[in-house]
Copies of this chain bind each other. A is one copy, B any other.
Amino acid sequence: MVNIGIVGYGNLARGVECAIRQNPDMNLCAVFTRRDPACVKILTPDVPVLPLAETANWKEKIDVMILCGGSATDLPRMTPILAKDFNVIDSFDNHANIPAHYASVDAAASESGHIAFISVGWDPGLFSVNRLYAAAILPEGKDYTFWGRGVSQGHSDAVRRLPGVIDCRQYTIPVPEALNRVRCGENPELTAREKHTRYCCVVAEDGADRCCIEQSIKTMPNYFEPYDTTVEFITMEEMKRDHSGLPHGGSVIRSGVTGWNGENKQTIEYKLTLDSNPQFTSSVLVAMARAAMKMKARGYTGCKTIFDVSPADLSLMSREEMLAHML
Contacts and interface: CB of A to CB of B under 8 A. Distances in A.
Interface stretch (A45-53, A66-74, A200-208, A319-327): A319-327
B307 A326 contact: yes
A312 B324 CA distance: 26
A271 B269 contact: yes
Contacts of A265: 273, 275
Given A258-B276, A310-B310, A316 B131 contact: no
B320 A311 contact: no
Question: Chain A: interface residue count, which band?
Answer: 35 or more
Nearest to A255: B273
Contacts of A316: 136, 139
Interface stretch (A19-27, A78-86, A170-178, A229-237): A19-27
Nearest to A134: B126
A284 B136 CA distance: 8
A119 interface: yes
A321 to B, nearest CB: 10
Contacts of A5: none
A58 B63 CA distance: 48
Interface string A292-327: 000000000000011111111011110010111011
A245 B265 CA distance: 12
Interface string A261-291: 0001111111111111001101110010010
Contacts of A269: 269-273
Interface of A: 15, 17-19, 21-23, 43, 95, 98-99, 102, 119, 124, 126, 128-133, 135-140, 183, 185, 245, 258-260, 264-276, 279-280, 282-284, 287, 290, 305-312, 314-317, 320, 322-324, 326-327
Which 4 pairs, one residue from A and one from B, show the smallest C-beta to C-beta distance? A264-B275, A258-B279, A264-B276, A136-B314
25 contacts: A18-B259, A22-B258, A23-B139, A99-B324, A102-B323, A124-B327, A128-B327, A129-B133, A132-B311, A132-B314, A133-B311, A133-B314, A135-B315, A135-B326, A136-B290, A137-B314, A138-B283, A258-B279, A265-B273, A266-B273, A267-B272, A269-B270, A307-B322, A308-B310, A310-B310
